[in-house]
Structure formats: C-alpha cells, structure tokens
Homo-oligomer: A and B are copies of this chain.
Amino acid sequence: MFLSELMPVKQVHRIINSTLNQTNTEKILLEESYLRILAQNVISQLNSPPFDRSAMDGYALQAQDTFGFSEQNPANFIVIDRIGAGTVSNMTVKKGEAVKIATGAPLPQGTDAVVMEEYTNERRDHLEVDSSITPGENVSFQGEDIRKGDVVLKKGKLLQPQDLAIIATAGYDNVEVYRKPRVGIITTGSELVTPHSDIHGAEVINSNHYTLKALVESCLAIPTLNHSIDEAELVEKEFKKMLRNNDVLITTGGTAISKGDVVVDVASNLGEVMIHGVSIRPGKPFAYAQIDDKPVFMLSGYPVAAMVQYDVLVREHLLEMQNLKWKPPTVKKKAARKIPSTLGRTDYIRAKTNGYEVKPLKIKGSGIIRSMVESNSYIIIEENLEGIMEGEMCDVLLYNSQRV
C-alpha cells in the first residue's frame, strides 16, 4: 500500500456519502427525545400564552383608572374576586373594580393591565394603588411567544432541553425522530484477548472493543459487538450475522496487505470494496465497502489509527444517517513547534492545547494508547501542506468538541 495508491480524504467522504441511506423514522415519547434528531417540522397547534395572562402577582384592573394617581394621591378600587394560576374569574370588571391575580392566571374580562402587589395596599377588599400604570403593563398577550400554525422547529434539529419545552408548548407529547442506527462492530485479531492481569505468549488486550463501543455511542447510535480470529471463514460468518441485524458494520484489524489480513477479502467476497487505503496518517489501512446496500467501515487494528479513522471517516456519516449535518468544528491555534508533513497526505497529529497555543506530543508509532489520553486534540495538516512552521496558525480539532 504505497502513497501513490492512496485515496485523498475528501474523495473518501464523497464516496461514502453517496452510498449512505438515512435510517427511517419513528414516533417516540417527547420525554424520551433529548439528543434525538427531528424527522418532522413541528407546527404549533396552539397559541402561547393560550390567553392574555398576568405576568406578575398583583391586581388586574383598567389602566385608565390609575391615570394621574401616585403614592401621595392613590387610586381607590374594590376587589371583587381573587384568582390563582389555573383558575378563571367569572366576573366582568368595571370602572373602580379590581381582581387579585396570581402570575400566569388569565386576565379577567374588562381588565387591560396588572399592577404589581408592591405598589398596592389592600384592606378588606378596599384597594389603594400607588402608581399610574399603562394599558398592557404586566400582561403577556395571547400568542405573543408562539402563534398557532408557526413552525417552531425544523426537521434535522438535534433536540436540546429547551427544544422539548417548545414542542410541548406547541401541543405535542410525542415526536417523530430518525431511528438510531444499529451498528455491528467486529474486532478481529487472533492475538486479542479480554483484559486480565496475566498476559501469556503473544496475547494482546483488545482495547478497540471498548473504544469503538463508546465512539459509536457518542454518535447516538446503538452498538453490538463481537470478536473474530483472523480466519476468513469465521470473519465472513460474523459479517453475515452482523449485517442481518444492523444498519452499519464497523470492523477493526486485518485491513493491511499481509497474509493474516483477511477482512477486506471477506468484504470483497460479499459486496463491493469501494475504498482501500486512504492518504491519512495515522490510519492509511482503511477500507470501505457496500454489502447488501449497507455501509461497511473497515478500520485498522492499531488502537490510535482506528480512533483517528473513526473520527475522520466514520463519525460524520453515522450522524448523517440520522440527517444531522455535522462537520468537525476545527479552530485555529498557534503551533508551539515546527511540524513536518508530506505533500499529498493529511496528518492528524495528537496534540495538547494551552490557551492559544497547541503543541504536538512527542510520540512514535500508531499503537501508543497513552498518547490519546495525554493529548486533547488533533493538529490537522492538510494534504497540500508540507508542514507547519513554529508560530504558524494551524487547524486544531479538540476531541471534546466532537460530541454532538
């Protein structure tokens, strides 16, 4: 797998994107919809407020009855009713009359303003008002927040806490969202074992099992995991099983070109391998296939390479399947050191930011897990650059900005 045969990152995205299918939609309870992606426009069935209501605790009255009055010369009223939130007054208020009203209660007929309790003095239904108020004061008018028929949220929106409030207020207790993609994950590698304190012979702990599960969860998808040793027959069996029950398949390991690397051969038996080899570092041995119309992402077995491939080549497509448009939100930082790179290759360099500065970690090898824990970001060096000079501004992708 030489550099000349490797596909540029942009082309990889274009191919993957052209083959993806959005998941279908499902109606779920509104209270289960936090961090789901809207599959409908939400059109309000209601006005909000549903009626003219008091914005304060106080007295509803006709504003003109207070005109010209003050603390020295208070206006006088008779209190003819008292209403809390949730109750309606049956009275019609006339000149010189007032209704004691709680925040949120509907304005009684005949009133056009509310005077705050603080500016009044009540003794046995006799009320003094110390200030002159204007019509509409302390009133929230019907529909002033949302009007019936308004589109309050649009298809494709990732639902946040406040979005749930507006959907409820629009009159809905359920909502149409995209189904979470079911993602089958097969880790491959005859040397891989589950974690324990006592490693024998050539055994290596399968850390990808844990990382990949979490990475898929971070894309609002549902992972199912299994493992296979490097035997084509067994890998193929796992492929078939996982593809039956999932929308997407992700594998790790077996994507290079030596004898033990059977994964891409299996994919090519079962479907069409569209990409094999990408010009990124780390992460060159990446492959992508379509099998039974389903996307198959084949990642490297190296933990760090697999993580970079996921972040660069998988993440945005899993979100796109749920109709969420998402691009890695890179920021500009000043390079603390010179960083060499090679023309024609995109580099993702593990780095640590410190305010406006970013410093590449000193590491070698793509299997060094500690570097992923000690770094907080990638410095991205695009394929048209031969490197970054010390002090130059460069593109940085913070790991924690990747969560939607």
Residues of A within 8 A of B (CB): 2, 30-31, 34, 45-46, 48-51, 55, 57, 83-88, 102-106, 117-118, 140, 144-146, 152-153, 160-173, 189-192, 194-197, 199, 201-215, 217-218, 225, 229-230, 256-260, 301-303, 307, 365, 367-370, 372-373, 399-400, 403
Q: How far, in angstroms, from A173 to B193 measured CA to CA in the complex?
A: 11
| Shortest Cβ distance from residue A120 to the other chain B in the assembled complex, whole angstroms | 12
- With contacts A161-B307, A211-B161, A370-B166 taken as known, whether A258 is within 8 angstroms of B217 at the C-beta atoms is no
Residue of B nearest to A85 (CB): B191
Q: How far, in angstroms, from A301 to B191 measured CA to CA in the complex?
A: 58
From B51, B173, B205, B257, contact of A196 by CB (8 A)? B173
- With contacts A199-B46, A369-B48 taken as known, whether A214 is within 8 angstroms of B34 at the C-beta atoms is yes
| Shortest Cβ distance from residue A285 to the other chain B in the assembled complex, whole angstroms | 10
- On chain B, the residues within 8 Å of A57 by CB distance are 256-258
- On chain B, the residues within 8 Å of A167 by CB distance are 195, 210
Inter-chain contact B210/A369, CB cutoff 8 Å = no
Residue of B nearest to A117 (CB): B258
Inter-chain contact A370/B146, CB cutoff 8 Å = yes
Inter-chain contact B195/A171, CB cutoff 8 Å = yes
Q: How far, in angstroms, from A118 to B257 measured CA to CA in the complex?
A: 11
Residue of B nearest to A225 (CB): B31
- On chain B, the residues within 8 Å of A51 by CB distance are 202
Inter-chain contact A164/B85, CB cutoff 8 Å = no
Q: How far, in angstroms, from A232 to B340 measured CA to CA in the complex?
A: 70
| Shortest Cβ distance from residue A300 to the other chain B in the assembled complex, whole angstroms | 10
- On chain B, the residues within 8 Å of A163 by CB distance are 373
| Shortest Cβ distance from residue A208 to the other chain B in the assembled complex, whole angstroms | 7
Q: How far, in angstroms, from A161 to B201 measured CA to CA in the complex?
A: 27
- On chain B, the residues within 8 Å of A372 by CB distance are 162, 165-166
